[in-house]
Amino acid sequence: MTATTMEPFTTLASSCVVLPAENVDTDQIIPARFLKTIERRGLGAHLFADWRVDERGQPRIDFPLNSPVAVDASILVAGHNFGCGSSREHAPWALLDFGFRAIISTGFADIFRNNALKNGLLPVTLAPTAYASLVDQLAKSPRARVTIDLAPQRATLPDGSSHTFPVDPFARHCLLKPPTNPRIRRASARADGRTSSPLVRSLTVAVLPGDGIGPEVVAEGARILRAVAERYGHTIELREGLIGGIALDARGSPLPPETVDLCRNADAVLLGAVGGPRWDDPAARQRPEQGLLGLRRELGVYANLRPVTVIPSLVASSPLRAERIEGVDLIVVRELTGGIYFGDKRRERVDGGERAVDECAYTTFEVERVTRVAARLARSRRRKLTSVDKANVLETSRLWRSTVTRVLRDEFPDVALDHVLVDACAMMLLRDPRSFDVIVTENMFGDILTDEASMLAGSLGVLPSASLGDDDSAGGAAVRRGLYEPIHGSAPDIAGLGIANPIGTILSVAMMLRLSFGLEEEARAVERAVGETIENGCVTVDIAARGARSYSTAEVGGAIERAVGSA
Question: Which candidate, 151, 168, 154, 149, places its Cα nearest to that of 126?
Answer: 154
Percent helix, strand, coil in the chain, to 5, is: 40, 20, 40
Q: Which residues are catalytic?
A: 341, 390, 423, 447, 451
Are the beta carbons of 515 and 468 closer than 8 angstroms? Answer: yes
Are the beta carbons of 396 and 366 closer than 8 angstroms? Answer: no
Task: Give 73-95 as a DSSP string.
Answer: --EEEE-TTBTBSS--THHHHHH
Sign of CA dihedral 171, 175, 177, 182: positive
Rounded distance, CA 539 to CA 502, Å?
Answer: 9
Rounded distance, CA 280 to CA 407, Å?
Answer: 41
Chain centroid offset of residue 562 CA: 25
Are the beta carbons of 315 and 322 closer than 8 angstroms? Answer: yes
Question: Which candidate, 523, 543, 525, places its Cα nearest to that of 535?
Answer: 543
367 SS3 class: helix
159 SS3 class: coil
Rounded distance, CA 207 to CA 218, Å?
Answer: 8
Are the beta carbons of 115 and 91 closer than 8 angstroms? Answer: yes
Are the beta carbons of 550 and 217 closer than 8 angstroms? Answer: no
103 SS3 class: strand
Question: Which candidate, 239, 235, 237, 238, places its Cα nearest to that of 200?
Answer: 235
Look up residue 306 and give its amino acid. R
271 SS3 class: strand
Q: Where does 144-264 have alpha helices with state H?
A: 169-176, 214-232, 245-251, 257-264
